[in-house]
A and B are shown apart, each in its own frame.
Chain A
């Protein structure tokens, strides 16, 4: 399954809930959700295991829009573009939006 989170983890608990149900699914951070990918955010440690397993992605265009460079990211988070998102939906669907 492909899960998306679009809120900052410092603003809502959507990321917590998503991670509690992630199982072996993939997590894609979009819109304000990309702030969860910051190495400095408390969420970094929550994401660490899934990221190490190669299951956490962040949307590059949304990172750039918010001034987040790749070197601000926690380890092992993969940056994708919109075509990468489409491929994730194909490879790992169905999609569950934690809106």
Chain B
């Protein structure tokens, strides 16, 4: 599982986490992505980083399905704390509550956190 807890653009973590996710697709593993805390902001619609000359990588989350990476979990409480709902995201996800997210983490063999 890849755990994403940081907002995009301010630091490189979100972008680099996505790079590892894409590589992991080649390893035939049961990959899942968790978005919580500021990590949910990575999926926010309407991002445009042209004026700061940085990469617009949000659309790449939509391409994950093509790599058979379909388990995207987003924490409900984290969305609500930021005034967001699943309608504000660039890609369809499974919204889960905090307890469910905790259970999902506990079921993993390997966790990479960014």
Contact = CB atoms under 8 A, between A and B. Distances in A.
* Genuine A/B complex: yes
A63 B103 CA distance: 31
B contacts with A: majority SS: mixed
A25 B36 CA distance: 18
Contacts of B52: none
Report the interface size class on chain A.
Answer: 10 to 19
B110 interface: yes
B89 interface: no
Contact of B111 (A22, A23, A95): A95
A88 to B, nearest CB: 15
B5 A23 contact: no
Interface string B40-82: 0000000000000000000000000000000000000000000
Contacts of B24: none
Interface of B: 3, 5, 36-37, 98, 101-103, 105-106, 108-111, 113-114
